[in-house]
Chain A
Amino acid sequence: MSFDPGLPDDSINVSRTHPLKEAGLLLAGMIGAVILFVIAVGASIDWLAPLLPPGLEMKLLGSFGEPDEDEIEPSDSDEQRLQALVDRLASHWADNPYSFRAAILGDDAPNAFAFPGGWIVVSRGLLEQTDSENELAFVVSHEIGHFKNRDHLRGLGRGVALALAMSVVASSGAGLAGDLAGLAGSLASRSFDRDQEVDADAFGLGLVYAEYGHVGGATEFIRKAPEFSNVIGNTAASYLSTHPLHDDRIEALLMLALQKGWTKQGQLMPFESESGDEQDTLDTTKAHGDFE
């Protein structure tokens, strides 16, 4: 027997696809799948959310929506004032099925949330950056508007869908893929937010007018802090925070006020914060922060 040596064939055991091409294809497929999933779930939730009676929601999700105890500040006079404000504003919603509960989040970033079960949560940072009760009232009324339109349930449903998709991707161990999926998913989820915000604004403005007889201060908060344009949103997504949504929203609000004949002129009330100076009334033209 003679020994006839050969060399290994390079082309049999190794696929010749370019790795970057493979990565691009797989990533695009994954991102597309996540977006489709979130949109599909978002659309079904939009359809299902109004079918859940508010009474049942309070019972089922009341404790689920309750903010974590270590995140909210202990009950104090600010919270009582906020609760009173929430109750006053909610009283103008004729067939309100909710009994709202207010809480203050110990966070310096201005933010406000509507959580399932009637929770309206406002951050300490938002309290400090609003110059009048009217501004705060608009934020709170906007959140009440989300309850009216059941947006908090939609947001919750989409959040669950996104978390589900993310956990599938994350379990693959490809960390970056998970991040990209999260970004794509929240962008897809965000496409649902826009109309919701405008609708909640419109309802909120009505409550503010009913309470004060004018809508002065209502647009101030989003106008003076464009970078907080998603503050009054109901999602935690901070992507696209530079999105010029606030201009559209202010314009839509002004148009609504004009159509309804709601005046912007009127006295602004102070919302006394413990950390700020006491002052009886505020001048509409004054824009400096009193509670810095």
Chain B
Amino acid sequence: MENFSLIFALLLLLFAFSTGEMIERRHYKDIRSREQRWKRFPAITLKRIPSAWEVEDSEMVYGNVVISVDHFKRFLAGLRGIFGGRIKSYESLMDRARREALLRLKKDAMDKGFDAIVNVRLETTRMANARRNGEGTAGLEVLAYGTGLKLRNKPA
């Protein structure tokens, strides 16, 4: 009986691994294609507006994403909790979330008719687990924000 539950747990882990891998692969594919498509839209971290730009309008713009940790990634991270070292399984998760948030930031700015974003900043938040008194991580949120600018003269 105990062996049965062990096998079941193992199967669940493999299932989570395959779904997690599939979702991640698709997400990366999507991220890369949008990065390529929107790469001419400037989203820069400078605080000051480049002197050549003549600003007509400005507004704060956001891009926000929440990504869940899958069972397998959490399992790997748990093992890392014993031995230490880089939590490699979360690295790709963070990477995806940051890039997705930046893409949504650009989308927000484009939809609002802006020509560029300056002072781009990133914030990360751990989404606490609703169970177990908030211990453990349900997922993570990355917020990208900046100042959208409408310009009289488009940047070169």
Which of A11-19, A82-90, A113-121, A259-267 lies on the face that meets chain B? Answer: A11-19
Given contacts A6-B39, A14-B92, 16 further A-B contacts (CB under 8 A): A3-B42, A5-B39, A5-B40, A7-B39, A10-B28, A13-B94, A13-B95, A17-B88, A19-B73, A22-B76, A30-B83, A172-B79, A172-B82, A174-B74, A180-B6, A239-B2
Chain B residues in the interface with A (C-beta under 8 A): 2-3, 5-6, 9-10, 13, 17, 21, 28, 32, 35-36, 39-40, 42, 44, 50, 52, 72-76, 78-83, 86, 88-89, 91-92, 94-95, 99, 136, 155-156
Cβ-neighbour of B99 out of A8, A174, A177 (below 8 A): A8
A3 pairs with B88, CB closer than 8 A = no
Residues of A within 8 A of B42 (CB): 3, 5
Q: Is A91 an interface residue (CB 8 A)?
A: no
Q: Is A238 an interface residue (CB 8 A)?
A: yes
- Interface hits, A16-44 → B, CB 8 Å: 17, 19-20, 22-23, 26-27, 29-30
A-B contact pairs, 13 of them (CB 8 A): A5-B42, A7-B36, A7-B39, A10-B28, A14-B88, A22-B76, A26-B82, A26-B83, A30-B79, A169-B82, A173-B136, A175-B9, A179-B2
B88 pairs with A22, CB closer than 8 A = yes
Minimum distance in angstroms from B102 CB to a CB of chain A: 9
CA distance A3 to B53 in the complex (A): 12
B156 pairs with A3, CB closer than 8 A = yes
Residues of B within 8 A of A180 (CB): 6
Range for the number of chain A residues in contact with chain B: 20 to 34
- Interface hits, A143-180 → B, CB 8 Å: 168-169, 171-177, 179-180
Residues of B within 8 A of A14 (CB): 88, 91-92, 95
Identify the closest chain B residue to A17 (Cβ). Answer: B88
CA distance A168 to B28 in the complex (A): 36
